[in-house]
Amino acid sequence: MIAQRLDPKLERVIDDFPILNRKTSRGKRLVYLDSAATSQKPQCVIDALTEYYSEYNANIHRGVYEIAARATDAFEGARAKVARFVNAGEPAEIIWTRNTTEAINLVSYSWGLNNLKPGDAILVTQLEHHSNLVPWQLLAEKTGAALRFIPVDAHGLHDLTNLERLLEGTKLVALSQVSNTLGTIAPLERIIPAAHAAGAIVVIDGAQAAPNMPVDVQAMDVDFFAASGHKMCAPTGIGFLYGKRALLDAMPPFLAGGDMIRRVSYEKTTFNELPWKFEAGTSNIADAIAFGTAIDYLSELGMDWVRDHEHAVMTYAFKRFKELQERGLLVYGPNDPDLVADVVSFNLGDIHPHDLASILDTDGICIRAGHHCTMPLMEKMGWPATARASFYIYNTEADVDALIESLLKAARLFKL
């Protein structure tokens, strides 16, 4: 099979990622197919970190001197970039968090504890990452609200047959826009209006969507949207929560301390305005600034290009996977590049996914194996574990070819 000739834009993208241009300890080309766990970082993001620490490291929102002002401008500038990237109404609707998990917990604690009571319901789906399930389980326990599930079928597609009934009494709907295990893209255009019509707010776990496709929170009319920088070319330790101003204004702070206050006396505190009301203590300044650089990088590529590129690579992967069917390759999920984003889960015969991942590793290929933080889904489907490949802006058809060759090698090794 002849791999695609790289278009010059894709060649430039690969060049931008230093880690992709080095060899593994076995002298292999690194074929990184685990971007759903965390993406690689382009040189410009790495440089943004070095520049901050070597040129203008200072705390924000307090120093009057030049480098403190520069740090504050860069930090707030990055927030404005994220706001534009997801088309928030204003930068104040973007709250910095450590990651998606923290953003979801912020909503659960600050909105959930103050708005839910016994008799209410929280609606999630059977596809959720533990980060978008466990916080709601805890919230249900604390408030006496019921936890309900939108079922998924054997292909990992949402079954909306009983959506209206599930929404009766529901005050909060939380779901991932893209599943990190099966890649399924949720039918938000159907779920969000129905949820609003039933009087529920909608929280989108965008951890797998924001890196891979254009996101417009206003067009989707979501109430909250959470994502992690580390999956979209930014460093670890920085993520964000988008929330509609009216909701955020009405919510009490999540964490308390410095920076989130307006005035403090020994007896009483009044809180800062949005977004700082939710950002207690010294923020992750460097990583937020570098997140801004990552947003510039992705915006320059164009999120339509990102989606189209990944669609093409996934189309090629699904085609090549068919060649391995007779060796016992089982591909899970919708199996259709129009219905999934960047992720595909599979098993090869009775090879344990961890063994498979270790064999692939000897060829320089990085995939993930396990339950992918979706244990209830694995149990429902009856899969003890799966192998998972996830593709991003720097992956090519040659990477798919390398994956297929290595899977064939594993099949021969295990006499499949």
Of residues 198 and 314, the one with the C-beta less far from ligand 7TS: 314
DSSP result, 198-228 = TT-EEEEE-TTTTTTS---HHHHT-SEEEEE
- Catalytic residue status for 366: no
- The rounded distance, in Å, linking the Cα atoms of 335 and 317 is 10
- Contact positions with ligand 7TS (CB under 6 A) in 37-66: 37
Handedness of CA 115, 171, 339, 349 (dihedral sign): positive
* Binding letters toward ligand 7TS, positions 208-237, x by CB under 6 A: x-------------------x---------
Smallest separation (angstroms) from ligand 7TS to the CB of 64: 35
Q: Does 132 bind ligand 7TS (CB under 6 A)?
A: yes
| Closer residue to ligand 7TS in complex, CB, 56/240 | 240
**Which residue blocks in 41-187 are alpha helix, DSSP H?**
43-55, 66-86, 100-106, 113-115, 134-143, 163-167
> In the complex with ligand 7TS, which residue's Cβ is closer, 62 or 354?
354
> Residue 331 to residues 127, 344, 355: CA-CA distances in angstroms?
17, 7, 17
Burial of 166 (0-12, 13-18, 19+ CB in 10 A): buried
Say whether residue 207 binds ligand 7TS (CB under 6 A).
yes
| Binding flag, residue 108, ligand 7TS (CB under 6 A) | no
The residue nearest ligand 7TS at its CB is 180
Q: How far is the CB of 101 from ligand 7TS (least distance, A)?
A: 3
* Total residues in contact with ligand 7TS, by rule CB under 6 A: 16
List 44, 233, 366, 373, catalytic entry:
373
Q: Determine if 158 is a binding residue for ligand 7TS (CB under 6 A).
A: no
Measured distance CA(324)–CA(409) in Å, rounded: 11
Q: Which of 16, 205, 397, 399 binds ligand 7TS (CB under 6 A)?
A: 205
Contact between 163 and 192 (Cβ < 8 Å)? no
Question: Which positions from 243 through 302 interact with ligand 7TS, judged by CB under 6 A?
Answer: none
Pair 156, 127: CB distance under 8 Å: yes
The yes or no reply on residue 97 touching ligand 7TS (CB under 6 A) is no
CB 224 within 8 A of CB 107: yes
- Rounded CA-CA distance 156/179 in Å is 9
Q: Does 148 engage in binding with ligand 7TS (CB under 6 A)?
A: no
Catalytic residues: 373
Q: Which residues bind ligand 7TS (CB under 6 A)?
A: 36-37, 99-101, 129, 131-132, 176, 180, 205, 207-208, 228, 372-373
